[in-house]
Amino acid sequence: MLGIGAGWYERESRGLGFPFPSLGERFERLEETLQLAKQMWADDPSPFQGKHYQLAEPINHPQPLSKPHPPILIGGSGEKKTLKLVAQYADACNLFAYGGAESVKQKLDILKAHCDTLSRDYDTIERTTLDTAMIGLGATPAELIKQCRQLAAVGVQHAIFNMPLDYTITPIETIGREVIPAIREL
C-alpha cells in the first residue's frame, strides 16, 4: 500500500532536511505524485511533464505484484482538496478521529459528495481513521470499545491508534485481551 498525504508536520520535514513548501504547493506535488505513480505502475515510460516534476522516462521495474497497482491510501481530513483527491485517486482514506465519530461522519459525507460528483463508487474506498488510545493513561478499554463502535456506525472500516505507552506491554495486552475481541465483528 502506498500511504501518502500532502504533509502537515513541518518540524519533521525540516528535521529530515526536506523542504516544506506552502500548503498549495504541497497539494500540487501530491497530485502530481499520484498521477506519476499510476503512470509508472501502468508500465508507461512516456515523459511526464508536471509543474513540479519532469521525468523523461519514468521507468518502474520491477512492476508491483499488486494489480492494477498497490492500493493508494491518502491521509488527511481536508474537505476541499484532500477528500477530493481521495475520490479521484485513492483506494483508501485515513481521517483524523480526534474530533470523534460525528466529525468523521461529516468528513465521510463530504467524501461521498466528491465521489458522487466524479461518478465514483464511494463503497470502493476503504475508510480508516487515526486516533490515540490512551489505555494506561486514564482511558478504559470500555471507552475505546465504545469509540470503535461509534466509528463503525458512521462507516469507518478500520480504526488505527497511536499508543503513547507502546514501550510497555500492559496497554497492548489490554487491547488484545479486552478490546479486540469486543470489536472483532464490527
Q: Is residue 144 part of a domain?
A: no
Domain-embedded: residue 141 = no
pLDDT tens by residue, 43-101: 999 999 999 999 999 999 999 999 999 999 999 999 999 999 999 999 999 999 999 99
Residue found under cell 481536508: 78
Q: Is residue 119 part of a domain?
A: yes
Over residues 150-182, the pLDDT tens digits come to: 999 999 999 999 998 767 888 999 999 999 999
CATH number at residue 49: 3.20.20.30
148 closest CA partner among 164, 135, 166, 137? 135
Q: Residue for cell digits 477528500?
A: 83
DSSP-assigned beta bridge partners for residue 37: none
- Domain containing 36 equals 2-133
Residue range 93-136, pLDDT digits in tens: 999 999 999 999 999 999 999 999 999 999 999 999 999 999 98
- Structural domain includes residue 156: no
Domains: count for the chain:
1
CA distance readout (Å), 21 to 3, 7, 27, 53: 20, 10, 10, 15
The helix or strand, by DSSP H or E, that contains position 95, with its residue range, turns out to be strand 92-96
